[in-house]
Structure 1
Amino acid sequence: MPSTPLPSPSLPGPPPTRLTIVTDAWHPQVNGVVRSIETTNRELKKMGVEVSMITPEPFRSAPMPTYPEIRLSLVTPARIGRMIEAQQPDYVHIATEGPLGLMARRWCLRNKRAFSTTYHTRFPEYVAARLPLPLSWLYAYVRWFHNRGGACMVATESLRRELTAHGIKNLSLWSRGIDTTLFRLRDKAEKPFGLARPIFMTVGRVAVEKNLPAFLDLDLPGSKVVVGDGPARAELQARYPDVHFTGMLHGEALAEAYTQADVFVFPSKTDTFGNTILEALASGVPVAAYPVTGPIDIIPAGSNAGALDQDLQVACIAALQASPDSARRLAETYSWQAATEQFFDNVVEAKEQRRKRGLRGRFGTRPADLTG
């Protein structure tokens, strides 16, 4: 009798792509950086990428001066290096310029490991608002930090132009997306929060860099609402007793709050994008803002999804006439899947740039300095 053939052993597939992300911004912080990284991680998993995180959670920390809600990790390059090595990543991405990012950068340079970075926040302006340091010194630090990576990701074209003028190189675009299922058109209450309409609302961290008095000082019809929390809340709540402060909201409660606004006001001049702008637009709420990086990139002229003006009061009144349907349609053009593919392409390109630098060094061209 012919023998029965043994089943062929199943061949293992290719190993998964591994990415380590190092970030100083993580829970319990609630901000655009944390939300962007979280959502990107979920999309990367769908793409088959294994993501390992190095966050402040396992480290001792100290409160940040003037902003104790943010804690600074106490860590050494050696410990960060051991964590990266244990994760065996194909790629390393450094999301922030804080202690963890700084130590990861140092370890990568010493060990000739490629890495990418992100310019999530206006670090120089953010620090200068709290400490008496010249912006020129702070931009020198930003150049030193980011120019050694293979790619520094920025959210908008206008920010790329601005940072290029400051001498930052290897800039790549990484846009953002929006959950259009959570943030959607909903029924509006006659008197939301017990307040008279129109409702002018802002959402975000209640802190000095958000420029909230520029909104709260305006003489507007109806009512003003601030959603969020932060170190400036107590002082602003006492200073503006007629403004309704909701505190921090999450999930469905946040999405419902957005929908009750008639105009979303974005007074910040220092954000690099403005995730809350997309959340408002997806909720069918027109946006009023200054014509600065972020708003000018998201809200094109003639879109009827909001109004931009150097006079924020003019923008607020004009936004009352904008179209909720136009706002929603604009938000629907922002996909987290497309943004995450863009992010990962940049990560891969950063490693390729590191390889090209090494080849240039072998053939006699001065290689990139790797001493860190």
Structure 2
Amino acid sequence: MSHHPRVAFFTDSYHETNGVAHTSRHLEAFAKREHIPFLCVRAGKESEKFQDESITAVEFKRSSIGFGLERDMRFDFLMWRNLKNALQAARDFRADLVHITGPSDIGQIGARIAFLLKVPLVISWHTNLHDYAGKRLEKLLAFLPETQCKTIAGWGERNALKATLRFYKLGRQLFAPNEELVDLLKHGTEKPTSLMQRGVDTEIFSPLKRDSEDNIFRLGFVGRLSPEKNVRFLAEIEKSLLDAGKSNFRFLLVGDGSERSWLENHLRHATFTGILKGEALSKAYANMDAFLFPSQTDAFGNVILEAMASGVPCIVTDQGGPKFLVQHKVNGLIARNEREFVTAVIDMMSQSQNHEHMRLAARQAACGASWDRVFEKVYEDYRVCLHSQNLIETRNQFAAAR
């Protein structure tokens, strides 16, 4: 085995616009920069296999038999038809271990292949699936009385968590993006769990990309406009700002999703850009004055780092991963409830000197978040996992010889 483990990486999202895809592309890019052999299995427009220096990519076209997870992503019930080809690709690659990003259609195949090849399975946690299940059930059952709706949604959330933890018990090594989830997985699965945070490119996302000079205070959001992001709360924020006599502001919402039409009908001072990429996204971030992230379900929040790298202080809730990225009253604000969130927005708009200090602190904090450092630690954990596997196999061989 070479110095770097040969990893077969099965990701449920690569080409889409979300945190899992973003992290997956950066992990592949790291392996390419370091000339590390790396197999990436994912869904694509067509089923194909191609080589790019040290990277081997295998893509499978999803069928129409399944259900939608997002506008640009589906769960394919027939993905298992690709098991034979995926297994052969992993064998040809001579994988030392398999890393999957969760219990998706692609992830399930990866877990099966790890079992068939008798190599360690590594599973990383990227999405709080149980929280998403609860939020979506709550929206689906909104026609019921509120108490009954919340009771059923809570039941769904609890059982989704139990099912997810059962799946993660299959892993030899687990990764989680924040300390709370590390503890959850350690206690829920009794498996070794390491912190796997995220990085940000501070050249792509930079205050230097700002070109707005109209003195309008822009309140930004980047991400899926979906129920679990709690984006309808933005309409409450707008109403509170107007009631407080604030008028020189505008929401800048970057992204798309099922809640977009509702927001377009309920926000009076907002610009909707749709999904942006590249330089357009960098400029959008840099032109924001505050980044609002009312989600209570995000496991990490890549967009928080991107906003901070752009010199934009963030306001987040005290639920989920984003609160671990923000230092309260240093580079942003953390709100314990909706009232505190609204107050935080008003304070940030009103206190120009503090706002400028937070801008500088946000940029400084983001400059310490390096993708290379994140993945160097991941590869170290891969090596520890393989060493542990070798020790177990050696003990088993001694036991069998007695």
TM normalised by structure 1 equals 0.85
Question: How many equivalent residue pairs?
Answer: 347
- Equivalent pairs: percent with the same residue? 27
Matched residue, 1:84: 90
Does the 8 A contact of 1:212 with 1:268 survive in 2? yes
Does the 8 A contact of 2:165 with 2:185 survive in 1? no
Q: 1:300 to 1:359 in 2, by over 3 A?
A: farther
Q: 1:144 to 1:66 in 2, by over 3 A?
A: closer
Q: 1:232 to 1:61 in 2, by over 3 A?
A: farther
Does the 8 A contact of 2:5 with 2:379 survive in 1? no
Q: Which runs of 4+ in 1 moved over 6 A?
A: none
> Shift of residue 167 of structure 1?
4.2
Q: Distance in 2 between matches of 1:15 and 1:200?
A: 47
Q: Distance in 1 between matches of 2:390 and 2:3?
A: 21
Matched residue, 1:6: none
Matched residue, 1:103: 109
Q: Which of 256, 261, 272 is equivalent to 2:283?
A: 256
Q: 1:273 to 1:59 in 2, by over 3 A?
A: same
Q: Distance in 1 between matches of 2:217 and 2:322?
A: 22
Matched residue, 1:223: 250
Q: Distance in 2 between matches of 1:180 and 1:274?
A: 16
Unaligned runs of 5+ in 1: 1-13, 366-372
Equivalent residue runs for 1:1-372 within 5 Å: 17-27=5-15, 29-57=16-44, 58-62=60-64, 64-65=67-68, 67-73=70-76, 74-76=78-80, 77-131=83-137, 134-167=156-189, 169-186=191-208, 187-191=210-214, 197-218=216-237, 219-220=240-241, 221=246, 222-301=249-328, 304-310=330-336, 311-320=340-349, 321-322=354-355, 323-359=358-394, 361=396
Q: Distance in 2 between matches of 1:95 and 1:353?
A: 21
Q: Distance in 2 between matches of 1:16 and 1:300?
A: 35
SS of residue paired to 1:130: helix
Q: Distance in 1 between matches of 2:165 and 2:69?
A: 25
Does the 8 A contact of 2:293 with 2:316 survive in 1? yes
> Shift of residue 360 of structure 1?
5.1
1:158-200 Cα offsets, whole Å, 9 max, x none, are 3212444544632111111110001111244233xxxx72111
Greater Cα shift, 279-288 or 220-229: 220-229
SS of residue paired to 2:73: strand
State the one-letter code of the partner of 2:274: G
State the one-letter code of the partner of 1:351: L
State the one-letter code of the partner of 1:94: I
State the one-letter code of the partner of 2:43: P
Q: 1:68 to 1:263 in 2, by over 3 A?
A: closer
> Shift of residue 16 of structure 1?
7.2
Unaligned runs of 5+ in 2: 45-59, 138-152
State the one-letter code of the partner of 1:260: N
> Shift of residue 325 of structure 1?
0.8
Q: 1:242 to 1:317 in 2, by over 3 A?
A: closer
Does the 8 A contact of 1:115 with 1:351 survive in 2? no
State the one-letter code of the partner of 1:198: F
Q: 1:347 to 1:318 in 2, by over 3 A?
A: farther
Choose between structure 1 and 2: higher helix proportion: 2
Q: Distance in 2 between matches of 1:182 and 1:298?
A: 19
> Shift of residue 312 of structure 1?
1.4
SS of residue paired to 2:6: strand
> Shift of residue 17 of structure 1?
4.9
Q: Distance in 2 between matches of 1:283 and 1:158?
A: 27
Question: Which of the pair has the greater relative contact order for Cα pairs under 8 Å at 6+ separation?
Answer: 1
Q: 1:61 to 1:244 in 2, by over 3 A?
A: same
> Shift of residue 328 of structure 1?
0.6
Does the 8 A contact of 2:177 with 2:300 survive in 1? yes
SS of residue paired to 1:206: coil
> Shift of residue 205 of structure 1?
1.1
Q: 1:50 to 1:291 in 2, by over 3 A?
A: same
State the one-letter code of the partner of 2:375: T
Does the 8 A contact of 2:99 with 2:110 survive in 1? no
SS of residue paired to 2:120: coil
TM normalised by structure 2 equals 0.79
> Shift of residue 353 of structure 1?
3.2
SS of residue paired to 1:55: strand
What is the CA RMSD across the aligned residues, in angstroms?
2.5
> Shift of residue 364 of structure 1?
6.1
State the one-letter code of the partner of 2:303: T
Q: Distance in 2 between matches of 1:243 and 1:362?
A: 66
Q: 1:169 to 1:18 in 2, by over 3 A?
A: closer
Does the 8 A contact of 1:91 with 1:115 survive in 2? yes
Q: Distance in 2 between matches of 1:89 and 1:21?
A: 9
Q: Distance in 2 between matches of 1:144 and 1:248?
A: 35
Matched residue, 2:57: none
